[in-house]
């Protein structure tokens, strides 16, 4: 007997939806009725969700929702800063008349790892997960997402993108000194993100004694075209990300792997030196042997937020008494 649910990945600009059969194993192929709606076209989250429901041919078969958003979900009231929406979880559930679960977007990313196929993972180095210890997920985008998973399949929430940036060498320390001119506290998210790449470009130009700015897509395009300055800035971005990813592994004890996720990394992938990224991840002085044994992967997968929501619902269902 089928048991359908709606999974949703709500961002500041777009929202992606799908229906899933909770009696099946979560997978990309299992996502049905996939659709994307522009958040700006709707006055509220409730209106957005109702619009997707109205598009379904047999909406009455869908019994529940699982929604991931970028933000804290522990309280009933949720604020989405990138969209400007504030809403009550209980009020949205009452309006829809269906059970509804909100999870953090990186909780969904963590859960999505269990749904990945071999072709969706690019391993850096020889270490591979054993599936019995903690693993971590890191993803730069508009901000910097971080999460983890215990061996018991419990997601570890984190706001780890907001810890302070720690330079690894004199050049990075010089970048930090310049960035302090604009930022009273330089969080790692201020560097490892789309806006962060733009800050690195500005700071690197200041170190050369000039003023220059660029968008993240333009920096990436220039680097791919061979521009030496853009390539150096992008290398700074990758070096800082790799060092931070191994910091996360050490903090969480994520010896079963660190997964680098997100559309931004997929777009930057052509400029990434995989061997250097692995070396920067491992470069931890006395902890170099520890880090070198940690599996490290780049994830190239579609709809991981939706798949993570599905996996979350499946795990919740498996834990309910029968």
The 10s digit of each residue's pLDDT in 243-265 is 999 999 999 999 999 999 988 99
**pLDDT over threshold 90, residue 316:** no
CA distance 137 to 245: 9
Residue 135 bridge partners (DSSP): 149
66 within 8 A of 8, measured Cβ to Cβ:
yes
Is the confidence at residue 83, as pLDDT, over 70? yes
Boundaries of every domain in the chain: 4-112+303-319, 118-299
Mean pLDDT lowest for which of 84-93, 216-225, 310-319?
A: 310-319
Q: Say yes or no to pLDDT of 238 above 80.
A: yes
For 169, residues 6+ apart whose C-beta sits below 8 A from its C-beta are none
Distance of alpha carbon 155 from alpha carbon 255, whole angstroms: 15
- The DSSP code for 25 is P
As a CATH number, domain 4-112+303-319 is 3.30.420.40
**Residues 9-25: tens digit of each pLDDT:** 998 788 999 999 999 99
> Is the CATH number 3.40.367.20 carried by domain 118-299?
yes
């Amino acid at each position: 007997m089928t048991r359908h649910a709606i999974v949703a990945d709500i961002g500041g600009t777009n929202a992606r939806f799908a229906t899933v059969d909770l009696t099946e194993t979560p997978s990309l192929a299992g996502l049905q009725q996939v659709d994307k709606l522009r958040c700006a076209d709707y006055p509220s989250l409730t209106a957005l969700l109702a619009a997707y429901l109205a598009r379904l041919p047999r909406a009455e078969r869908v019994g529940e929702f699982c929604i991931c958003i970028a933000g804290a979900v522990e309280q009933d009231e949720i604020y989405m800063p990138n969209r400007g929406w504030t809403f009550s979880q209980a009020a949205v559930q009452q309006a829809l008349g269906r059970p509804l679960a909100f999870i953090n977007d990186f909780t969904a990313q963590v859960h999505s790892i269990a749904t990945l196929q071999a072709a969706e993972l690019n391993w850096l180095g020889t270490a591979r997960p054993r599936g019995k210890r903690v693993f971590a997920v890191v993803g730069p985008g508009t901000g910097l997402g971080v999460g983890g998973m215990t061996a018991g399949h419990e997601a570890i929430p984190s706001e780890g993108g907001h810890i302070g940036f720690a330079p690894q060498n004199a050049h990075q320390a010089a970048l930090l000194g310049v960035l302090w001119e604009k930022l009273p506290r330089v969080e790692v998210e201020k560097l490892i993100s789309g806006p962060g790449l733009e800050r690195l470009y500005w700071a690197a130009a200041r170190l050369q004694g000039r003023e220059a700015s660029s968008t993240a897509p333009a920096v990436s395009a220039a680097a791919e075209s061979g521009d030496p300055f853009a390539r150096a800035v992008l290398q700074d971005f990758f070096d800082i990300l790799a060092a931070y990813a191994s910091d996360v592994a050490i903090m969480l004890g994520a010896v079963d792997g660190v997964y680098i996720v997100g559309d931004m990394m997929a777009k930057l992938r052509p400029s990434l030196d995989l061997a250097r990224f692995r070396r920067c991840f491992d470069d931890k002085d006395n902890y170099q042997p520890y880090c070198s044994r940690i599996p490290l992967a780049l994830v190239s997968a579609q709809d991981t937020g939706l798949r993570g929501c599905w996996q979350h619902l499946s795990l919740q269902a498996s834990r309910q008494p029968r």
